[in-house]
Amino acid sequence: MTDPAYRWNGAAIDLDAYLARIGFDGERAPTSATLRRLVCLHTTKIPFENLEIILGRTIPLDLSALQDKLIGRRRGGYCYENIGIFAAVLERLGFGVTGVSGRVTMGATEGLRPATHALLRVTTEDDERVWMVDVGFGAGPLEPYELVPSAGEFTLGRWRFRLERRVGELDTELWALHQFGRDGWLERYTFGTQPQYRIDFEVGNHFVSTAPRSPFTTRPFVQRFLPDVHYVIDGTTMTTEYPDGSGDTRELELAELPKVLSEIFDIDLDEADAATLSEGGWLLR
């Protein structure tokens, strides 16, 4: 895309700081190998979290704010934040990058969900394949997945996924990504391939960070996705899940939250924010 509205301000990214944040020391070239490595490192090093909302703050998407939070303060974010900074990095490195929107279903079979998830459609210089990159869902995949009608079931690392091509409204192209977990196969989300402007993501970001109907405005939701385990905090419930579908769940005490966030999710809150989270005022919302 040459239209500036589609672009990601890659010239302004502090590339050295970002690559140090995720531990990347490979070739800085727009190849499929580099893309796979970047996706894996970003997904495993930068957690998914909505804590700023729970702490009463807004979620800005300008690149300077994203760099301050995800790089400078070593925090995480949700889809709009993660793909915003990742797209800027890819653009800076010379990849072809286009934003697309998804509808999170998580197994729901009725009703139309709002388009509140953001993904990236990426092309490289070393082949003609089209890749979908999802560094902001919190549950992987740890690699890009190829956008081909015959994809079917595939494994990335030890985690199992399934891609399904459908026909959407008005005969538009529609895709559905499924993931295997504790409850078997579950449809995670659907997405189209219509390019999205950054301003479209601003609108979605406003909804998920402020609307009473949004799950992110009512309780902490934090994820850490690793090659062998997926950790989730939902409110005060912590779930641990493994690639074979096994796992366990336990309830956390409010006072435990800051320590668990630090030790498992690599999120270190300052004393004031840790106290605010532990007070549990969000439980009354």
Contact 136, 78 (CB under 8 A): yes
d(CA 117, CA 142): 17
Q: Which of 42, 134, 178, 230 is catalytic?
A: 134
Q: Among residues 259, 252, 251, 254, which one has the least CA distance to residue 281?
A: 254
Active-site residue flag, 244: no
Q: What is the pLDDT of residue 173?
A: 83
- Active-site choice (40, 42, 117, 178): 117
**DSSP secondary structure string for all residues of 79-101:** HHHHHHHHHHHHHHHT-EEEEEE
Residue carrying structure tokens 């959407």? 168
* Residue 228: count of CB within 10 angstroms of its CB: 9
Q: Over pLDDT 70: what percentage of the chain?
A: 95
* CA dist., res. 217 & res. 102, Å (int): 20
Report d(CA 77, CA 41) in Å as an integer.
15
Catalytic-labelled residue, pool 40, 42, 79, 178:
79
| Residue 6 CA, distance from chain mean position | 19
C-alpha 118/C-alpha 244 separation (Å) is 27
What is the distance between the alpha carbons of residues 138 and 140, in angstroms, rounded to a whole number?
A: 6
- Count of beta carbons in the 10 Å neighbourhood of residue 226: 13
Q: How confident is the model at residue 198 (pLDDT cuts 50, 70, 90)?
A: confident
168: pLDDT confidence band, cut at 50, 70 and 90?
A: low
More confident residue, 114 or 138: 138
Q: Is 117 a catalytic residue?
A: yes
Strand, coil or helix: what is 167?
strand
Q: What's the pLDDT band for 1 if we cut at 50, 70, 90?
A: very low
* CB-CB contact of 99 with 83 (8 Å): yes
208-250 pLDDT, tens digit per residue, is 999 998 989 999 999 999 999 999 999 999 999 999 999 999 9
For 84-115, the pLDDT digits (tens) are: 999 999 999 999 999 999 999 987 766 678 89
Structure tokens at 76: 């995480």
Q: Count Cβ neighbours within 10 Å for each residue of 255-266 and write b for 16 or more, e otherwise.
A: eebbebbeebbe
Gyration radius from the chain CA atoms: 18
Name the nearest CA neighbour of 181 among 130, 121, 129, 241: 241
How close are the terminal C-alpha atoms of the chain, in Å? 42
Q: Is 40 a catalytic residue?
A: no
